[in-house]
Structure formats: C-alpha cells, structure tokens
Chains A and B, each alone.
Chain A
Amino acid sequence: MPPLARWLARRLALTLFVLWGTATLAFAGMRLVPGDPAHVIAGGVQANATPEVLETIRAQYGLHDPLPVQYAIFIGRLVRADLGESYQLNQPVSTVVLEQLGATVSLAAGAAVLGFTLALVLALLTAGRPRAGALTRALEFCAISTPNFWIGILLLGAFSFSLNWFPVLGEDGPRALVLPWITLALPIAGVLAQITREGLERALGQPFTLTARSRGATENRIRLRHALRHAALPVLTLSGWALGELLAGVVVVETVFARQGLGQVVVSAVNGRDFPVVTGVVVLAALTFSVINTGLDLLYRVVDPRVRQAAL
C-alpha cells in the first residue's frame, strides 16, 4: 500500500474509534441519568405521566430490553446514520440537525475566514516592528481573555440598539451575520495573530532571509514568499484548536444574537434532556472535528515537504 493510503487508512480507523467512543459515552450518559429514563422522555417527573403512558414509552423505546441489547440496537442504528427520534420535537434527529446545519455552517465558516484573515494581516503588518507589535499584542491579549458572549452583547448594544447599523434579530439576511462573525472571529484571531507573528519573526531572523535580502528581494516579497511559509506550520497546528473554539463559540453566540442553529438546538436539548438530539449533535461535532484535523494534517504535508518523508 502506498504510504499516503496507509496513513489515510489509519486516520480513518482513528476517526471511527473516536466516533464509537463518543457515541458510547453518550449512551452511558443517557443510562446514568438518575431516575427512570421513561420519565425523562415523558418530560420529567413533574409531567405527571400516567403509568400507562410510561409503559407505552418503555415499549416504544425498547427500555425493557437488557442494557447490552439496547446498546447493540443503538450502535446498529448509528452505523446506518439513524440518530433516533427527538424526545421533545417528535422528529427524527437527522431532520432537526439538517434543518439547522446551514445557519450554523454559514456562521462558523464566515467567522473562520474573517478570523484567519484578520490574524494574517495583523501579523504580516506588525512582525519585526516592536512598537506596533506591542500595541497589537496588548489588543490580542484582551481579545483572548474576553468571553465572546460579552463581546457579542457589547457589539449588539452599540451597533444594533444604539446606532441601528445592523438588525437586532438574527434572521434578517446577510447583514445580520456581520456582528456574529466579528464576535466569533476576534478571540481566535487574537491567538492566531500571536502565533503567526512569532513564526514570522523567527523566520525573518534566519539565514535564508538574509540570503533573499542580499539577492535584492523586497520586504513584501520576503514576508509573503519566504517567511510566511515557515510561519504557517505552527498556525496549522493551532488551527484545529481554533476551529474547535469556533464550534464551541457558535453555541453561545447563537444565543446572544437570537439566531437559529445547532447551538440553539443543543442548548434546548440539554435543558430538556433530549438525549437523542444531544448525542446526535455531539457525534456530528466529533466527526466534523476529526475530518478537519485530518485535513489539516494533510495540509501540513503540503506546506512542509520534510513531513512527507518522515513520520508516515
């Protein structure tokens, strides 16, 4: 087998393992809930479900079966991409997730683009320039330490309520996406800019920079063509983390801006203990994250030829 195929096969196995583990933890969680799962499905103990209703629920969800059987059925369905049915919404989980996926993806993707662009521009402009670097470093430190829901609330208060530049509610077309994008992008841009600048400054101090300079390359060409490629490696390493932060931020930012999306779905599912939905979203997040990390590792090999030879 060619090395790349072997490497990909190993990554696929790892992804499947992580998905299995996530699903198993979620299943264990579902059964660890104090009290009777049938009560949870019926809407909590306060819902005063009659014994007959509880009995129907138990039969419907297979709660009479021994645990290993329930687990086998659960995994078997998952393999066929059947995430079960939401307790609260009486809809298949996959329908609920697919309906909301678009809103969340457009939010996260736009924020990722904005965050990476901002980080790159800031780092390229300030690397090797101590005074500008110190100022942006301080700003970056603020961006990292600020919870993004506070950034969101402040932006909303200033630009939507006071200045009326952007719509107050989340669903009014592309203009409503601007503030959520900024909110999500700022913290990750802070971290990524720091790492990129460090990498750039390290690369600018290396002999190859001096060689390029002595051959008459312009400052811009040195930064863009020579130094950036070296700075890209640690950024790639952190990108997985940054995208994870983004996914996590989506949950909170959707609440701040009252937007529809997976974050809203998962929060109300957690509140209502709607386990199939929680499980579905968590498994989907684990899958997304694994795919992203595999893609990043592939990119690593493109950017750094040394990795291609070593560590297959």
Chain B
Amino acid sequence: MTAPALARPYRKVRPGLWAAWAFLALVCCAALFPALFAGAPDQVDATAVLRGPGAGHPFGTDQLGRDILARVVYGARASLFVGLGSTLLAGAVGSAWGLLAALGGRAVGEAAMRLADILLAFPGILTALLVVAVLGPGTRNATLAITIALAPGFARIVRVQALVVRDSAYVRAAINLGLRPWRILRRHIVPNVLAPLLILATLNVGTAIIAGASLSFLGLGPRPPAPEWGSMLAQARNYLDVSWTLALFPGAAITLTVMSATAAGRALQARYERREP
C-alpha cells in the first residue's frame, strides 16, 4: 500500500523549457540523420550565388551557391561532436583528477590541485589555443583542446564534492563496517558526486559549443569544405557587404543550441537543489 499522496509542490508549466528540450532533440536528430532534413551540403550551384532566403533555398545560398539550410543542418554534427565530446571527456578526466585530489593522499592532492590552479589562472580559450598550437588544427584536436581547458573546472567541483561525501556519516559508517575502499568509492562516493557533476556538464555543453565555434571561426577547427557553424560565420564575415543573411542562420543555430542547453541545465540544477534538504 502506498502512502497517501502529499500535496505535490506546485510546479509551473514553462513553455520555454519545453521549447529548449524540443530544440535540443531537433539538433540531435539533425546531427544523427542530416539527410532527413536537407539535401547535399556540398553541392555547388554557380547560377545561384549569395542568394537571400527564398524558394528552393529557404535560408539562401553562400558564395559558392551551396544551400545554407543544408550546411546548417550538416554542421550540427561537427558542433555537437566538439561540444558534447569535449564536455564528456572533460567530465571523465576532471572526475578522475578531482577524485585523485580528494582521496589520493596529501602530496598527490596538492600536486593535482596546483596543476588545476595553473590551468585556471588564465582564460580557457588561451589554454585551448596553446593546445591547438601543439597538436595542430582540426576537429579532433579542437575537441581535445577544449577538453583540457574545461577539465580543471570539473576537477575542482568533483574534489569539493568528494571531500564533502568522504567526511559524511554514511561513508564513515561504511568504513567502520569494514567495507573495502574500492567498494566504498564505487557504491557510496561516486553516485553522490555524480548528480552535481552531470548538472555541471549540462551547463558546460553551451560553453564548449561556443568555444568550439570560436576555434573554427579562427580557422583552427574542422577544415573548410566541411560544414561547421563557426567556420560558416568566418566565411560570412567576408561577404557582409553583399549579403548579411549569410551570417544569420549559422549564428542563430549556435545561439539557440547554447540557449537550450543552458536552460535545460539550469532547470536540472533547480530541480536538484529543490530535492536537497
């Protein structure tokens, strides 16, 4: 028998949040199955160059007569790859780093956190630029660069969380019960560190997408013929005198994706904080 339902906390219906989730779903679909949404992104049409939005090309065409709608749709994959890829990697690397700092003893912990201090001492994009200078440009290297720029932030949060959990009553109880350290880490510490980590990750996806787009805007991301929102904007910059709509759609795609990811992250955060006592 279940307990009688207590008065549920009043929850507002927020259309903006639904729109955010729906847009994220749309972007994910576009990244996975771009062919469902648009034609070929590389088809050059010399008779229709730098057209504004209109019939045949809803978003217009670029300087080579390629369909911008198709390039925006196909660009979703590269942007999400960099954004999600670097966030996931940074979350994994940062978690290991933070757990090591919290639980690995004094000397290891100090060394780990001082390294994080150094990397956090200047803006992330400079770290990313330094990494690209070492590895060279390209999608994979840009992803790695942003990973290295984001990881120390994750490491700090995970370390603090792990310290809080380590000193909590239930972990002490587990230690006193004589459970093995590995089991305590896996069963008691990791699950309790995971929730705030996932929220931080959601909030970081937007940052990572903007960082990825910035790198490719600077010509350090995917190589030119590949459709990508940042490099599309870089090309649009050169044709502003002819067509300003060229810059409209790739930029809107970045902004709406980042907005949706941030709104979703904030909603998750609010829900998590409400659940906490």
Contact = CB atoms under 8 A, between A and B. Distances in A.
Contacts of B236: 153
Contacts of B150: none
A161 interface: yes
A278 B129 contact: yes
Interface stretch (A26-34, A52-60, A204-212, A298-306): A26-34
Interface residues of A, number: 49
Interface stretch (B40-48, B69-77, B182-190, B217-225): B217-225
Nearest to B218: A267
Interface string A13-33: 000011001100110011011
A147 B210 contact: yes
B123 A245 contact: yes
A145 B233 contact: no
Contacts of B248: 154
Contacts of B219: 267, 271
Contacts of A145: 206, 255, 258-259, 262
A285 interface: yes
A153 B234 CA distance: 9
Contact of A255 (B114, B122, B125, B218): B218
Contacts of A256: 237
Contacts of A156: 237, 240
Interface in A135-180: 141-142, 144-147, 149-150, 153-154, 156-158, 160-162, 168
Interface stretch (B52-60, B131-139, B172-180): B131-139
B233 A17 contact: no
A287 B241 CA distance: 40
Contacts of B133: 29, 269-270, 273, 275, 278
A152 to B, nearest CB: 9
A33 B134 contact: yes
A147 B118 CA distance: 26
B122 A289 contact: yes
Nearest to A288: B122
B129 A266 contact: yes
A248 interface: yes
Contacts of B226: none
Interface string B157-201: 000000000000000000000000000000000000000000000
Contacts of A42: none
B17 to A, nearest CB: 12
B220 A270 contact: yes
Interface residues of B, number: 43
Contact of B259 (A22, A142, A278, A281): A142
A154 B247 contact: yes
Contacts of B126: 247-248, 251, 266, 281-282, 285
A153 to B, nearest CB: 5
Q: Is the interface of A mostly helix, strand, loop or mixed?
A: helix
B241 A147 contact: no
Given A251-B129, A271-B137, A153 B240 contact: yes
B122 A147 contact: no
A248 B118 contact: no
Contacts of B129: 251, 266-267, 270, 278, 282
Interface string B241-277: 1001001100100110011001100000000000000
A88 B208 CA distance: 31
Contacts of B136: 273
A275 B262 CA distance: 35
Interface in B113-152: 114-115, 117-119, 121-126, 129-134, 136-137
Contacts of A267: 129, 218-220
B262 A144 contact: yes
B213 interface: yes
A147 B251 CA distance: 8
Given A29-B130, A255-B217, A22 B247 contact: no
Contact of A153 (B125, B220, B237): B237
16 contacts: A18-B117, A21-B114, A22-B121, A29-B131, A146-B251, A149-B217, A157-B247, A168-B241, A251-B129, A251-B214, A256-B237, A267-B129, A270-B129, A270-B132, A282-B122, A290-B121
Closest 5 CB pairs of A and B: A21-B118, A150-B251, A157-B244, A248-B123, A248-B125
Given A25-B118, A141-B262, A285-B122, 18 more contacts: A25-B119, A25-B130, A29-B130, A29-B134, A144-B262, A145-B259, A146-B251, A146-B258, A147-B213, A147-B255, A149-B217, A150-B254, A156-B237, A161-B240, A162-B244, A248-B125, A252-B218, A289-B123
